[in-house]
Amino acid sequence: MRYIIIGAGAVGGTIGGRLAQSGREVVLVARGAHLDAIRQDGLHLLSPHGTVTLPVTAAAGPEEIDLRPDDVLVLAVKTQDSQEILSAWAPRPVAGGGTAADVLPLLCAQNAVENERMALRLFRHVYGVCVWLPALHLSPGAVVSHGAPLSGLLTLGRYPGGTDETIERIAADLRGAMFLAPVVPDVMRWKYGKLLTNLGNAPQAICGLAPGAGPLVERLLDEGRAVLAAAGIPFTSPEEEARVRGDQVHEVAVDGLDRPGGSSWQSLAKGSGSIEADYLNGEIILLGRLHGVPVPANETVRRLAAEFAREQRPPGSMSLPDLLKLVEEEAAAR
């Protein structure tokens, strides 16, 4: 199998880098200065195990790659970018006949729960990947993997449910590349559980790693759990995820530096102009409106995160007391 990693940022770069390091054939799809740096100097993968430079093939998009029937597409972009990218890859021809949409497996190694639904409209063989992978990408040509002793927990399964030989083979390759990779028949239950934990991404991006944010995050989670219960959607608990992860993946410092923030924090730090809150807190808002469950705290943090991204405000530029005041004021006004 050849792995084509679409989106070689923190998650995609770590997955692709570890697969390449284990001897698998990998193509990293990136853009801008990150693409140029990988092409010129390879991918620099920093981790608690040391730094390696990997001479990985890099491409700007599907037009630069001759697809083969043994290719695996791994989508690792933010959800707000998925539709455009899926539409670009789906019609590409595959050697031997057919298109990528008809022939190739597509793995959604992303936060949120909307990507698989988007993909299944276009691709025949869609797989979910629940990602627990602490990593960082802020500088061109480099990603930092903070997971140890393994780089991450990647829970895999067919979408909407089940398992098959293809995902078992992919999981075996991932296990050989420093990942914990269980295959489950209910991968979306895992992804909804991860969705709940990601509800805290927006306030972290807005306020930074502010002490005292716990009660707000718990309020976001309470709203999320209430919505999923009303919708009849099952989800894993943090305790179940922790039991599977065990002592095999911990977030640790690299070169004495802790990871400064999660994926939403990194989007603001890079000034990307977009943020995934619409598909994290926004998913809870959508379900709340569909099922008549009020979710005022999620509404406020989603709106603010979107404003921060649109205005390219730096992460952590609002104080926690100011955010809490807004949450209370807007909840009272609804």
Domain boundary among 125, 155, 185: 185
Residues 109, 15: Cα–Cα separation, whole Å: 9
Section 59-69 average pLDDT:
97
Compute CA 24 distance to the chain's CA centroid, rounded to the nearest angstrom. Answer: 22
Q: Which two tokens stand for residue 258?
A: 């802790």
Per-position DSSP letters for 94-110, written without gaps between them: BTTSSBHHHHSEEEEES
Same domain, 139 and 280: no
Closest CA to 162 of 131, 135, 185: 185
pLDDT digit string, tens, across residues 212-268: 999 999 999 999 999 999 999 999 999 999 999 999 999 999 998 888 999 999 999
Per residue in 114-129, pLDDT (tens digit) is 999 999 999 999 999 9
Q: Name the domain boundary from 131, 150, 185.
A: 185
Q: What is the mean pLDDT of residues 16-25?
A: 98
State the average pLDDT over residues 280-309.
97
Residues 48 and 90 grouped into a single domain: yes
Pair 56, 96 in one domain: yes
Clarify whether residues 181 and 233 are in a common domain. no
* Domain boundary residue, one of 185, 212, 247: 185
The pLDDT value recorded for residue 16 is 98
Residue 178 has pLDDT above 90, yes or no: yes
Average confidence score pLDDT of the chain:
96
Beta bridge partners of 301: none
Q: What share of the chain has pLDDT > 90, as a percent? A: 97
- Are 10 and 131 in contact, with CB atoms under 8 Å apart? no
pLDDT at 210 over 90: no
pLDDT at 199 over 90: yes
CATH number of domain containing 172:
3.40.50.720
223 and 265, same domain (yes or no): yes
DSSP 22: T
Whole-angstrom Cα distance, residue 277 to residue 47?
A: 28
* CB-based contact 143:46 (threshold 8 Å): yes
Do 108 and 115 contact (CB within 8 A), yes or no?
Answer: yes
**Same structural domain for residues 228 and 254?**
yes
Q: Are residues 98 and 172 in the same domain?
A: yes
pLDDT confidence of residue 334? 80
Residues 19 and 116 in one domain: yes
Same domain, 163 and 207: no
- Predicted local confidence at residue 125, as pLDDT: 98
If asked whether residues 179 and 99 sit together in one domain, one would say yes
Residue 106's pLDDT is: 98
Q: What is the pLDDT of residues 264-292, one digit of tens each?
A: 999 999 998 999 999 999 999 999 999 99
Burial class (CB in 10 A: 0-12, 13-18, 19+), 102: middle
Contact predicate 107/127, CB 8 Å: yes
Q: Are 181 and 204 members of one domain?
A: no
Q: Are residues 178 and 199 in the same domain?
A: no
In terms of residue numbers, what domain contains 133?
A: 2-185
Total structural domains within the chain? 2
Task: For residue 254, give the CATH number of its domain.
Answer: 1.10.1040.10
C-beta pairs of 66-70 under 8 Å, 24+ apart in sequence: 66/95, 67/4, 67/92, 67/93, 67/94, 67/95, 67/100, 67/104, 68/2, 68/94, 68/95, 68/96, 69/94, 69/95, 69/96, 69/103, 69/104, 70/1, 70/2
